[in-house]
Amino acid sequence: MALDEKREKSASFTPMMIEEDAALRNGSRGLSGQWADAVGVRPRTTERHITVHKRLVLGFAISILALLVVTMIAVLLSVRFEECSTAAAADSPARASGNGSLPGAARLNHDAGEPPGRQEEAPGEEEEWQRRRQPPPWTQLRLPRHLRPLHYNLMLSAFMENFTFCGEVNVQIECLNASRYIVLHAHRVHIEAVQVAEDKLSGAVRVSSFFLYPPNQVFVVVLNRSLEAQRSYNLKIIYSALIENELLGFFRSSYVLHGERRFLGVTQFSPTHARKAFPCFDEPIYKATFKISIKHQATYLSLSNMPVETSVFEEDGWVTDHFSQTPLMSTYYLAWAVCNFTYRETTTKNGVVVRLYARPDAIRRGSGDYALNITRRLIEFYEDYFKVPYSLPKLDLLAVPKHPYAAMENWGLSVFVEQRILLDPSISSISYLLDVTMVIVHELCHQWFGDLVTPVWWEDVWLKEGFAHYFEFVGTDYLYPGWNMEKQRFLTDVLHEVMLLDGLASSHPVSQEVQRATDIDRVFDWIAYKKGAALIRMLANFMGHSVFQMGLQDYLTIHKYGNAARNDLWNTLSEALKKVGKFVNIQEVMDQWTLQMGYPVITIMRNETAGNIIGISQEHFIYDIDAKTTDPDPGSNSYLWQIPLTIAVGNTSHISSEAIIWVSNKSEHHRIAALDETSWLLGNINQTGYFRVNYDVRNWRLLIDQLLRNHEVISVSNRAGLIDDAFNLARAGYLPQNIPLEIIRYLSEEKDFLPWHAASRALYPLDKLLDRTENYNIFNEYILKQVATMYLKLGWPTNNLNRSLVQAAYQHEELRREVIMLACSFGNKHCHQQAATLISDWISSNRNRIPLNVRDVVYCTGVSLMDEDVWEFIWMKFHSTTAVSEKKILLEALTCSDDRNLLNRLLNLSLNSEVVLDQDAIDVIIHVARNPHGRDLAWKFFREKWKILNARYGEALFMNSKLISGVTEFLNTEEELNELKNFIKSYKEGAASSFSRAVETVEANVRWQMLYKEELFQWLRKSLTH
Residues taking part in catalysis: 443
Report the first-to-last Cα separation within the chain, whole angstroms: 66
Q: 103 preceded by cis ω (within 30°)?
A: yes
From residue 457, alpha-carbon distances to 142, 182, 517, 634, 762 in Å are 11, 21, 11, 27, 36
Spatial contact of 106 and 96, defined as CB atoms under 8 Å apart = yes
Q: How far apart are CA 875 and CA 859, in angstroms?
A: 11
From residue 131, alpha-carbon distances to 107, 127, 128, 726 in Å are 25, 6, 5, 64
Q: Which amino acid is at 122?
A: A
Q: How far apart are CA 149 and CA 283, in angstroms?
A: 11
Residue 280 carries which DSSP code? B
* Radius of gyration for the chain, computed over Cα atoms and rounded to the nearest angstrom: 31
Q: How far apart are CA 562 and CA 213, in angstroms?
A: 29
Q: How far apart are CA 522 and CA 524, in angstroms?
A: 5
Q: Could you give the angle at the alpha carbon of 395 between the alpha carbons of 391 and 399, nearest 5°?
A: 150
Phi-psi region of 317 (alpha: psi -120 to 50; beta: other; left: phi over 0): left
Mapping DSSP to helix (H, G, I), strand (E, B) and coil, where does residue 1021 land?
helix
Spatial contact of 426 and 292, defined as CB atoms under 8 Å apart = no
| H or E element, residue 205 | strand 204-205
Other Cβ atoms less than 10 A from the Cβ of 176: the count is 14
| CA atoms lying within 13 Å on the CB side of residue 818 | 23
Phi-psi region of 802 (alpha: psi -120 to 50; beta: other; left: phi over 0): beta
Cβ neighbours for 936, distance < 8 A, ≥ 6 positions apart: none
Cβ neighbours for 775, distance < 8 A, ≥ 6 positions apart: 1017
As to burial, measured by CB atoms within 10 angstroms (0-12 exposed, 13-18 middle, 19+ buried), residue 341 is buried
Spatial contact of 169 and 278, defined as CB atoms under 8 Å apart = yes
Long-range pairs, 866-875, Cβ under 8 A, ≥24: 866/836, 866/839, 868/899, 868/902, 869/843, 870/839, 870/843, 871/897, 871/899, 871/902, 873/843
Other Cβ atoms less than 10 A from the Cβ of 897: the count is 25
Other Cβ atoms less than 10 A from the Cβ of 83: the count is 15
3-state helix, strand, coil in the chain (%, to 5): 50, 20, 30
Q: How far apart are CA 1013 and CA 750, in angstroms?
A: 28
In Å, how far from its chain's centre is CA 768?
25
In Å, how far from its chain's centre is CA 292?
27
Mapping DSSP to helix (H, G, I), strand (E, B) and coil, where does residue 106 land?
coil
- 135-150 b/e with 16+ CB inside 10 Å = b? ebbbeeeebbebbebe
Q: How far apart are CA 153 and CA 146, in angstroms?
A: 21
Q: Which is it for strands 407-408 and 413-417: parallel, antiparallel or unpaired?
A: antiparallel
From residue 357, alpha-carbon distances to 255, 343, 348, 436, 558 in Å are 14, 4, 17, 16, 34
Q: What are phi and psi of 5, to 5 degrees?
A: -65, -40
In Å, how far from its chain's centre is CA 951?
18
Spatial contact of 312 and 320, defined as CB atoms under 8 Å apart = yes
Nearest Cα residue to 243 out of 454, 102, 434, 68? 102
